[in-house]
Chains A and B, each alone.
Chain A
Amino acid sequence: GENVEQHPSTLSVQEGDSAVIKCTYSDSASNYFPWYKQELGKGPQLIIDIRSNVGEKKDQRIAVTLNKTAKHFSLHITETQPEDSAVYFCAARGGGFKTIFGAGTRLFVKA
């Protein structure tokens, strides 16, 4: 069935360093790939998304890349700050209407 795998499950970086989270998806029909940030006690918040006709997208310190051939996509956060500490989820939406989420990456940014 459809599946999204996400790595690593936990990531600890020093403030100012970069953080990279990687995901793979199984459904070849997937064409939309959003990333969400979830803080304690809150619902997931969309931080960036990419569509299958685009290989890379950047928004200030955040960038996403997509390799459709390999079914890989990644989130890159540069110049990390303590407020970036949260759980990050990758997701994929295919030919249907449901969005499938990865298991999440807990990011710790140490000041």
Chain B
Amino acid sequence: DAGVTQSPTHLIKTRGQQVTLRCSPKSGHDTVSWYQQALGQGPQFIFQYYEEEERQRGNFPDRFSGHQFPNYSSELNVNALLLGDSALYLCASSTGQDNSPLHFGNGTRLTVT
């Protein structure tokens, strides 16, 4: 039973470029959340997708957008990259039930130069 898988594992981009990160949820999970984790800090909530809709959003600018597909997989898109966007981007999946635990992937390390 595969857990949460994310691709790519590492990515280097130049300031101003756009990036797309991908996530496949754990089998049986239908909800995907995205988090940004800066070095030495806790994960910060970006948004959550359920039934192909953005269900809740954290304090991130519109440059951050996402999508969920019918098979529950998800993408995170970041436009007009800034140096400060360099971080570990984590995808977490869960069921749609209340208080369902988050199961995290190993993340995508994004470096913006």
For the side of the interface on B, what is the size category? Answer: 20 to 34
User: Is there a chain B Cβ closer than 8 Å to A7's Cβ?
Assistant: no
The residue on B at minimum CB distance from A106 is B40
> Which of B40, B43, B44, B103 is packed against the most chain A CB atoms within 10 Å?
B43
* Chain A contact residue count (CB 8 A cutoff): 25
Q: Which of B4, B40, B45, B99 contacts A98 (CB 8 A)?
A: B45
Inter-chain contact A97/B56, CB cutoff 8 Å: yes
Contacts of B65 in A (CB 8 A): none
Contacts of A96 in B (CB 8 A): 56
Inter-chain contact B4/A43, CB cutoff 8 Å: yes
Q: Which of A4, A42, A99 contacts B106 (CB 8 A)?
A: A42
Contacts of B50 in A (CB 8 A): 97
Q: Which of B55, B58, B99, B104 contacts A93 (CB 8 A)?
A: B99
Binary per-residue interface labels of chain A (16-43) against chain B in the complex, 1 for a CB within 8 Å, 0 otherwise: 0000000000000001101010000111
Extra contacts besides A45-B104, A49-B99, A89-B42 (7): CB < 8 Å = A32-B99, A43-B104, A97-B50, A99-B45, A99-B102, A101-B42, A104-B40
